Structure 1
Amino acid sequence: MGPQVVVVDEDRVLPEQVDVVVVGGGIIGMSTALYLAEKGISVAVCEKGYIGGEQSSRNWGWCRATHRDLRELELSIESLKLWRKLDQTLGIDTGFWQSGILYAADNEEALADHESWLARAVERVGRDGIDSRITSGSETAALMPGASRMFAGGIFTPSDGRAEPQRAAPAIANALRARGMKILTPCAVRGVETSGGAVSAVVTEHGTIRCQSVVVAGGAWTRLFAGNLGIDVSQLTVRSSVLRTEPIDGGPEVSACTDTVGYRKRMDGGYTIANAFRSLAELTPDSFRLFGQFLPALKSNFRSMDFALGERFFDALRQPRTWQLDQPTIFESVRTLDPAPTQKYNRTAIDEFRAVFPALAHVKVAQAWAGYIDVTPDAVPVISPADTLRGMFVATGFSGHGFGIGPGAGKLMADIVANDTPLVNPHAFRLARFRDGSKIELDGGF
């Protein structure tokens, strides 16, 4: 079973009409709803399962600018600004804490990679725009008290932070509901009705909501949902595994990552731990349909990926790619994606954590889980209008970065929907880049 999230009460009573319907109640969907509401725009959020039930509650909980793809660096920086004031603004507790994040370098080659990224980041946003710094071996050791080995150095960003994934999206949802917004759960959206080439309504399992715009923030489900409207979203999924430990005294406060393990201190005194650069790609028919687009990413990440051909391939093969809106859909029969964790990844991660911190070797694993990360060919999200249908917008493909940049992505999406001055330049996040002849490039951010 996945991690236990903060409960948001069920509500299936639909409004007749709103300005915008947000499809998906994860961190991106809830943040979009929040910043649309701040503009005075009426919103309803429809979530087929429960708020924050999929990848929004299954990630590491890191909120960082460090080692972001440079195309999303400004968005990451702006998102951190929003994280820092989110709790006070809404009167909630997401667990955000400016703990700092460290990437430790095992050798000089890894340290050179950190130096290269920092030089390019400073060139892009200026020295005042980011407070990352290269650390010596001794400073790295001081940031990892109790570590059993010396590192060549690292890169440390004091302004980076951490939050609690199981709390964040539900906390925003509860705050918005208290302010009168409709947060509908469980309420699967089957599809979108159009009139004159524009969005006119969404059809849910409980009825229809008239609206002028729809934001699809469905995570791993977005490509399937959009495809029923003839909108091609270049997106695949990978399965990521995570564990949490029981509370333990004396561990490091700074979140950190080595070449094998990533960890952060939790509010409950335990640690969230994961294999740093290892994930499982379960092949589906879309893996072959999109093979050409994802080939550069495959070449770049081949050594950090395992591949599996199994039940998920045949489930996807049997799944209709188009459907009628007056019949139940897969969104109702599969409320929450809850895959089994890859135990060998988690064993490697906890063994490495115990080896690096021998004084914590007695720490006990409390729970393990997995989730599906939605990825794009260039590992940069889509935050964009769907140009082929007026009033349709897509926020997906966050490639493992969605929780940390969630508030910023939601604010940017709200700006785009409202046709306001955008938080950052949205050009890099346009959906059309995968079909307009643009070259798919990988930046090298983690």
Structure 2
Amino acid sequence: MGLQVDSVEPDAALPARADVVIVGGGIIGTSAALALARRGVLVALCEKGHIAGEQSSRNWGWCRKTRRDPREIPLIIESMRLWEDMNRSVEAETGFRQTGILFAVETDQEIAEYEAWLEHARPYQLDARLISSAEFDRLMPGAGGRWKAALYSASDGRAEPQRAAPAIARAARQAGATILTDCAVRGIDRAGGRIAAVVTERGRIPCDSVIVAGGAWSRRFLSDLGLRLPQLKVRSSAMRTAPLEGGPETAMWSKQFAFRKRHDGGYTIANGNANVSPIVPDSFRFFGDFLPALRMEWSALKLRVDGRFVQEWREAAPVPLDQPSPYEQVRVLDPAPDRRYTRQAMADLARQFPAFAGAKVVQEWAGLIDVTPDAVPVISTVDTVPGLVVATGFSGHGFGIGPAAGHLAADLATGARPIVDPTAFRFSRFTDGSRPRPMAGV
């Protein structure tokens, strides 16, 4: 089961109208709601389940600039500025702390890849750098000289996924946003080619613009509008421990395990190089789009056939807006964790760092990550649907980048000057001949 997420008191009634309706109550949707509400925009956020019920509460909690796709660097710089002020801004504890993140290096090839990444990062004057094995051991007592080097940033940090989006949602509500939970948006009404309203399970909300920030559900939602978004789901598993003495403050990634200290003194731990991709109908529909990424990431991706194939086949057909939708049938995606990978990661970690040998695992969970062919999000207007903004496909990078991504979505929905240039995140890159693909070494 998923983690216990901080609760958010929802509004009881639908608003008479809104300037902007947000579909999805994760880190992106709540951040957009906060940005809009603080500008005086009438905004309603509709979440089919509870705030941060899916991947926004199930991720590792990393807030990092290091090893980002270079196309995301301007956005993560803005996001880190927001994170640094987040606790004061929302008047709540989100768990954000700057404690550093490092990526362990085992081979000369990896050193070369990280040096190439540093060249992309250099214009932004980030503090990321390659450190020696000796400095690695000083930062991470118990490492024992196993790794040749590491890519390290002292200013990267962490926050608590079970606290952050709920705290942002409560701040948005305080600023005037309407927050609706257990309120699925079934679809969008249009008039004269423009958005006129959203239709929810509880009624209609007239509006001028809609931000779709539905995570793993976005592809299906957009398909009902006749839009093709190549997006697949990847299952990622993690675990947490009880509070532990003597463990590192700095978060770490390696091919065998990844970990970061939690605000409660425990640790979130995962396999650093194993994600499961369920084979579903969209796997065949978007095979050509994802083929370049499969070639680059084949060793880290585990393909599986499970019950999701039949479930997504059944969910695919359009449903009339006056009938219950798939979003009401599955309020929260709560897949079973892949314990084989999490427990192997825990065993490898305990062998490498003696402080973890006696760690007590208190929970394991999984989530479904929304991925795009180039592992870069879509944060974009859509030319064929005036008033629509899409903010999805964060490919496992969404939590740390979320505050600025929500801000950018709010900018696009209102015509404000965007916080960063959104060109790299345009929806049209999948149809304009750009041949989107991941960047090597990130």
TM-score bracket relative to the smaller structure: over 0.9
Residues 34 and 175, structure 2, Cα contact 8 Å, conserved in 1? no
Q: Match of 1:395?
A: 391
Q: Match of 2:294?
A: 298
Q: Match of 1:238?
A: 234
- Name the SS of the counterpart of 2:359 in structure 1: coil
Residues 381 and 398, structure 1, Cα contact 8 Å, conserved in 2? yes
- Residues 245-269 of structure 1: CA distance to partner in whole angstroms, max 9, x if unpaired? 1111010001111121111000110
AA in 1 matched with 2:186: R
Q: Match of 1:16?
A: 16
Residues 105 and 259, structure 1, Cα contact 8 Å, conserved in 2? no
- Name the SS of the counterpart of 1:368 in structure 2: strand
AA in 1 matched with 2:397: H
AA in 2 matched with 1:105: V
Is the aligned partner of 1:197 residue 2:193? yes
Cα shift at 1:148:
3.5
Residues 19 and 211, structure 1, Cα contact 8 Å, conserved in 2? yes
- Name the SS of the counterpart of 1:139 in structure 2: helix
Residues 30 and 172, structure 1, Cα contact 8 Å, conserved in 2? yes
Q: Match of 1:442?
A: 438
Q: Match of 2:254?
A: 258
AA in 2 matched with 1:104: A
Cα shift at 1:421:
1.5
Q: Match of 1:113?
A: 113
Partners of 2:209 and 2:235 in 1: CA distance: 31
Cα shift at 1:383:
0.1
Is the aligned partner of 1:138 residue 2:134? yes
Is the aligned partner of 1:209 residue 2:205? yes
Partners of 1:321 and 1:39 in 2: CA distance: 38
Is the aligned partner of 1:52 residue 2:52? yes
Is the aligned partner of 1:38 residue 2:38? yes
Partners of 2:402 and 2:333 in 1: CA distance: 20
1:263-342 equivalence runs, <5 A: 263-342=259-338
Cα shift at 1:91:
0.9
Deviates more, 1:282-291 or 1:352-361: 352-361
Partners of 2:412 and 2:439 in 1: CA distance: 25
Q: Which runs of 5+ in 1 are unaligned?
A: none
Partners of 1:78 and 1:177 in 2: CA distance: 23
AA in 2 matched with 1:160: D
Residues 139 and 250, structure 2, Cα contact 8 Å, conserved in 1? yes
Is the aligned partner of 1:76 residue 2:72? no
- Residues 28-73 of structure 1: CA distance to partner in whole angstroms, max 9, x if unpaired? 0001111112222110100000000000000000000100111111
TM-score, normalization by structure 1: 0.97
Residues 34 and 177, structure 2, Cα contact 8 Å, conserved in 1? no
Moved over 6 A (4+): none
Residues 148 and 358, structure 1, Cα contact 8 Å, conserved in 2? no
AA in 1 matched with 2:65: A
Residues 224 and 321, structure 1, Cα contact 8 Å, conserved in 2? no
- Residues 90-147 of structure 1: CA distance to partner in whole angstroms, max 9, x if unpaired? 211110001111111123332222222112221xx34xx3111110111111111122
Residues 70 and 445, structure 1, Cα contact 8 Å, conserved in 2? no
TM-score, normalization by structure 2: 0.98
Partners of 1:305 and 1:241 in 2: CA distance: 13
Partners of 2:116 and 2:228 in 1: CA distance: 35
- Name the SS of the counterpart of 1:211 in structure 2: strand
Cα shift at 1:445:
5.0
- Name the SS of the counterpart of 2:400 in structure 1: coil
Partners of 1:10 and 1:88 in 2: CA distance: 22
- Name the SS of the counterpart of 2:398 in structure 1: coil
Q: Match of 1:175?
A: 171
AA in 2 matched with 1:47: E
Residues 46 and 189, structure 1, Cα contact 8 Å, conserved in 2? yes
Deviates more, 1:35-44 or 1:49-58: 35-44
> How many positions carry a matched residue from both structures?
442
AA in 2 matched with 1:231: L
- Name the SS of the counterpart of 2:18 in structure 1: coil
The alignment yields a C-alpha RMSD, in angstroms, of 1.2
Cα shift at 1:343:
0.8
Residues 62 and 162, structure 1, Cα contact 8 Å, conserved in 2? yes
Residues 219 and 229, structure 2, Cα contact 8 Å, conserved in 1? yes
Partners of 2:136 and 2:401 in 1: CA distance: 26
Residues 113 and 441, structure 2, Cα contact 8 Å, conserved in 1? no
Partners of 2:23 and 2:260 in 1: CA distance: 30
Partners of 2:431 and 2:344 in 1: CA distance: 39
Q: Which runs of 5+ in 2 are unaligned?
A: none
AA in 1 matched with 2:184: A
Cα shift at 1:149:
3.8
Partners of 2:156 and 2:339 in 1: CA distance: 29
Is the aligned partner of 1:430 residue 2:426? yes
Q: Match of 1:186?
A: 182
- Residues 347-381 of structure 1: CA distance to partner in whole angstroms, max 9, x if unpaired? 12111211111132011111000000000000000
